[in-house]
Amino acid sequence: MTNLTKALITFLLLLLGVAAWAQQGDYILKGVVKDSDGQPLPGVAVMVRGGNSAITDLDGSYSVKVQNGATVDFACLGFHNETVVISGQPVLDIVMKEETTMLDELVVVGYGSQKKTNLTGAVSVVKADALQDRSALDVGHMLQGSVPGLNITSSSGRPGQAASLNIRGLNSINGGSPLVLIDGAEGDLQFLNPADVETISVIKDAAAAAIYGARGSAGVILVTTKSGNKEKEGRATVSYSGRVGFTAPTTSTDWETRGYNSVYLNNLFWEAYSPGTQYATYTDKDMYELWIRRYDVTENPERPWVVIDQRSGKDTYNYYANTDWWHYLYNDIKPTTSHTITLSGATPVINYLVSGGYTYEQGMFRENPDKYNRFNLRVKLSFEVTPWLRIGSNLSYFNSSYSYPGQSGISNNFAKSTGHALASYPTSNPDGSPVYLTQYNGYTVMDGLLMLLDGTNVNSDTTDNLSETLDLTITPFKGFTLKADYTYTLLYKRYLNRAVNGLYSTVPGEIETMETGVFEDKLTEQTNTHIYRAANVFATYEHSWNDAHNLKVMAGVNYETKWLKDLTAIGYNMYSETLNDLDLTGADNDGNKRTDVSGGQNEYKTTGYFARINYDYMGKYLFEANARYDGSSRFLRGSRWVFSPSVSLGWRISEENFFSPLKGWWNNAKLRASFGQLGNQQMSSYYPAIRTIDTGGKSTYLLGGSNPSLATISAPVSSGLTWERSVQSNIGLDLGFLQSRLEVSAEAYIRDTKDMLTAGEPLPATYGYSSAPKENVADLRTMGYELSVSWKDSFNLGGSPFHYGASVLFSDYVSYITRFNNPDKIFAKNYWEGMKYGDIWGYHIDGLFATDEEAAAYTVDQSVVNDLMTGGLRAGDMKFADLDGSGKIDKGNEKVGDSGDWIVIGNSQPRYNYGINLNASWKGFDMAVFFQGIGKMDWYPAADARSFWGPFARPYVTFIPRDFHTQYWTEENPDAYFPRPRGYVAMNTNRELGIANDRYLQNIGYLRLKNLTFGYTLPEKLTRKASIAKLRVYFSGENLFYFAPGLHSDYIDPEMAMTQGNLRVYPWQKTFTFGIDITL
């Protein structure tokens, strides 16, 4: 017991401002609190109801003032509470019983469960209560930041967008995502009702994943759903959880809305690109008209926004508007709501749980909003047929539909809105017709988006997922269990996309029609059917002898198939604009009905045999071995099977005799180590080893009439194609202090991905294919570590226990290519041995030229990066550093070691992932704050990332940051961030902003207030009267705020930049909800 520990505890108490104070007229009760082993327990809260409180010191002793007859509560995390009514005794010693749920709690692992104390692999657990207040739509997003080493990203912010999951970084250059099993059957987190989740185990190392063999090489996420509660036998529990709220963009939407500025800026950048020409041919008089209206937020009747006059011999619309395009097209505030009802309970024979959920979220499109609806249903039953036979059924149904206006693919619509709509254009002509072509240039306003959003172009994506698992458990004699289950999952996706002709007007009174491209009148209906079947049979035998040896053996077989079938039908020239059914396919001008159909199907089958042995001696020395033998239909006979063995060891140091002196304050210490090898069959193709002729294509060379059918042959395949392997080692340390109030867990790992499939030895181009057949010829190493520290405690505050906790999660990893056939390390091959994965190469910028003279005096040849530069370098241009002194900016011979001025300027991999969780509850009030973020990640804005580059990308951007005119170089603004104005220079790698450089490299590391929850649970004595067991109301906010100091923009969510470099996707959203939980 060190002074440091004492000081720490004292400090914590002071910090929290808690001190017991004496009360007059009472006597002092003293005593010692011990655990069942007789060890003194420090830090136990001793709370006198309605009075004051104390904390046991390091010897477990306490003293507190009490009155005779008072009730005293003893509370300590990890132990059952003890309550004693005082009857005048001066000394009260207490023995507290440990809660089994702490260290002895069961953790779900593959084909079974295990005591947490006995775990030897790297497994993290998330429990239902960590998710219950999260207002993200799906479980995947809720997991972000809550498990070290589990990385969650999203490819857009649209309602219903599924999260992408990754465990411990890059698994293979061919990708690969974790296996997700819901109650043992392959599933999708997106299809889960978050309220159904009981626990989630995230399996990160090979030892724990080896039981899944080749399916688990990228890690495994095991979700266990709630079941009827046996403990409350005889009573049904009904609970309702509902919330309403709204979503809003996470970034600024305060774009330039002044027509004058919009025209001026785009023309300025355009003219610098193409001297003497204008993007929008507003005359000087027109510009004056815009200027006088620049403060008109709404149309001033004296200064109309559309003026009709005679130009080129006819009436013409002149546009002088100040249109806020963003808020015309999009809503910032959108409603969202969700409701779940759960009925559960048990009788001596049946455990049951029925839950239903509904979620609705409205999207940002304003006039005809996009809408996401989701229904969940789960019926989980378990029957005890005889004492040795149990039958279970787990039925789940998921339905979602996302309907949206415009072109197919919601992000396409968003992308269209980013170009060719000047703020000077009105949202429609005076007669109500859409604005499409203007007199100012030949470009189409937002590529016709205004016509597409009229309500007749409709789309819907519908998903139905029905899954049923039947299981059978036989326990013929003690210690032996045989389980068999069969799962059938039907996933049915339906897409409907309707496009109609577009009507627009450029000249008053003349309506014109667009009939081609996205305006072609057609109805597309597509279905994807996925049928998944899985069967598992496995037996477990457990035996202990001599009170020392504990053995558990499990073995089984798994068989799975998946069949995917696609069907697409398109009808053209529909009879109706509002009814959407292929029976309404009309006729073309020749009277012919025009339709298109296409199909497609894929299939795979896998079989695996697996076994596991667990042995421990006295709970001190732990041993586990897993093995699995997998065969996959993706490979040909001879290279089809892969063996995945693993072994792991654990040593519970804290159970050793020599450790007992420390036990008073250091209750748990465990060292773990594991090693294993897994196969990986995840690859884009279902038939990578078979050469095929694809006849589904259509020729773009026409022979007069419709597209002729086109047959293409797939590239040759290597005959020996086989599994990638992943060899992983992991060491872990689990520590618990102060009766596990402070817990520390650390992991370190090395994962070698071997024999990655990649193009074989490069072949001369005369071979006829751009790359050689794929072979198993590359290796990758990922090294990383994870750390989690948590503190939980409670003390008496104002007569009631104040519970609080804090936890910090941290993880990091780096990956290197350790084998790749590129001995000269030429950049063209993308990878080379020793390459750090994610490195960003670029040029170094020595600032902007301050004067024309300085620019002219710079003799270095920048022509490689100044393709659009006419008239030589000038003030405000970027000065590229000639690092190799060659007199020319270039990449040398384009290989490592001979790369000229081309250097590593950053790395695109996320580093230092972290999550910080703070929570407290007191007297029915509860509060939780959850921060999540990454420490560093470099991002070079992609070509055409318009919300970053503005008119530097294209001199016709719709959404220009409101302060953009202060951001670029002018003589008056020589310290500006961006160089002198010029359009298109961020578009190609031979232009100064389009090529990566360190001046505009962004660090998108961020800290995000992921969740903030305030709740209040009504006192039970009040709610009891209404027969309500529990009633809680709360506010929960998701993604409320972010801080990204390295990102030079208020308009870009760092998480969007992570996955969508060009930024032209549905924006990220934050959520504010108010909820109520009622349990009857």
Least spacing, CB of residue 178 vs other proteins, in Å: 24
Give the shortest CB-541-to-other proteins separation in angstroms. Answer: 16
**How far apart are the C-alpha atoms of 56 and 210, rounded to whole Å?**
45
Cα–Cα distance for residue pair 501/516, rounded to 1 Å:
8
Shortest distance, position 380 Cβ to other proteins, whole Å: 31
Pick the closer one to other proteins by CB: 956 or 1042. 956
- By beta-carbon proximity to other proteins, the closer residue of 257 and 606 is 606
Q: What is the C-alpha separation between 527 and 700, in angstroms, rounded?
A: 25
Residue 603: CB minimum distance to other proteins, A: 5
Task: Give dist(CA 1009, CA 917) in Å, integer.
Answer: 10
**Based on CB atoms, which residue is closest to other proteins, 414 or 629?**
629
939 touches 1057 (CB < 8 A): yes
Choose between 222 and 993: whose C-beta lies nearer to other proteins: 993
Q: What is the CA radius of gyration of the chain?
A: 33
Instruction: Report the nearest approach of other proteins to the CB of residue 413 (Å).
Output: 17
Cβ contact 468:488 at 8 Å: yes
Which is closer to other proteins, CB of 826 or CB of 1029? 826
Torsion of CA 941, 942, 947, 950, to 10 degrees: 100
802, 794 contact by CB (below 8 A): yes
Q: CB within 8 A of 305, min separation 6: which ones?
A: 293, 296, 299, 319, 320, 321, 322, 426
Give the residue with the Cβ less far from other proteins, 100 or 699: 699
Extract the tokens encoding 59.
């010897």
The answer to whether the CB of 983 falls within 8 A of the CB of 117 is no
| Min dist. Cβ of residue 155 to other proteins (A) | 26
Smallest separation, CB 818 to other proteins (Å) = 21
Three-state SS sequence of 535-586: EEEEEEEEEEECCCEEEEEEEEEEEEEEEEEEEEEEEECCCCCCCCCHHHCC
**Which residue, 444 or 1071, is less far from other proteins as judged by CB?**
444
Q: Report which secondary-structure segment, H or E, holds 854.
A: helix 852-857
* Rounded Cα distance, 527 and 539, in Å: 39
Q: Is the CB of 51 or the CB of 631 nearer to other proteins?
A: 631
Work out whether the CA dihedral 199, 200, 204, 207 comes out positive or negative: positive
User: For other proteins, which is the closer residue by CB, 466 or 763?
Assistant: 763
Q: Got the DSSP string for 338-392?
A: EEEEEEEEE-SSEEEEEEEEEEEEE-SBSSS--EEEEEEEEEEEEEEEETTEEEE
Nearest to 351 by CA among 444, 473, 269: 473
Which is nearer to other proteins, 641 or 802 (by Cβ)? 641
Are residues 460 and 498 in contact, defined by beta-carbon separation less than 8 angstroms?
Answer: no
Single-letter residue type at 6: K
**Taking the mean position of all CA atoms in its chain, how far away is CA 246?**
20
Is the CB of 824 or the CB of 1050 nearer to other proteins? Answer: 824
Give the separation between CA 196 and CA 139, rounded to whole angstroms: 10
Rounded to a whole number of angstroms, the minimum distance from the CB of residue 702 to other proteins is: 4
Q: 94 vs 986, which CB is nearer to other proteins? A: 986
The smaller minimum CB distance to other proteins, of residues 409 and 696, is found at 696
Q: How many residues does the chain have?
A: 1080
Minimum separation from the CB atom of position 679 to other proteins (A): 12
Q: How far is the CB of 360 from other proteins (least distance, A)?
A: 36
Contact 372, 335 (CB under 8 A): no
- In angstroms, give the least distance from the CB of 874 to other proteins: 12
Query: Which residue, 358 or 827, is less far from other proteins as judged by CB?
Result: 827
Q: How far is the CB of 549 from other proteins (least distance, A)?
A: 23
For other proteins, which is the closer residue by CB, 367 or 867? 867
The span from the CA of 675 to the CA of 784, in Å, is 15
Report the run of H or E that residue 200 belongs to, with start and end. Answer: strand 197-203
In angstroms, give the least distance from the CB of 254 to other proteins.
Answer: 29
Taking the complex as a whole, the smallest distance from the CB of residue 599 to other proteins amounts, in Å, to 6
Q: Residue 780 Cβ, how far from other proteins at the closest point, in Å?
A: 22
Nearest residue (CB) to other proteins, 117 versus 648:
648
The answer to whether 942 touches 1052, Cβ cutoff 8 Å, is no
Nearer to other proteins, 698 or 1024 (CB): 698
Distance CA 710, CA 716 (A): 19
Tell which residue, 489, 458, 694, has the closest CA to residue 598. Answer: 694
Q: Under a CB-based contact definition with an 8 Å cutoff, are residues 334 and 362 in contact?
A: yes
Q: Show the beta-strand stretches assigned E in 269-333.
A: 306-311, 314-319
Token output for 305:
């926004």
| Minimum CB–partner distance for residue 451 and other proteins (Å) | 13
Q: Give the helix/strand (H/E) hosting 1024.
A: helix 1020-1025
Find the shortest distance in angstroms from Cβ 627 to other proteins. 6
Nearest distance in Å: CB 960, other proteins:
19
Q: Which is nearer to other proteins, 87 or 516 (CB)?
A: 516
Q: Kindly write down the DSSP assignment for every residue of 635-668, as one continuous string.
A: S-TTS-EEEEEEEEEEEEGGGSGGGGGGTTTEEE
User: Three-state DSSP class for 6?
Assistant: helix
**Residue 197: CB partners within 8 Å, gap ≥ 6?**
128, 131, 139, 223, 224, 225, 226
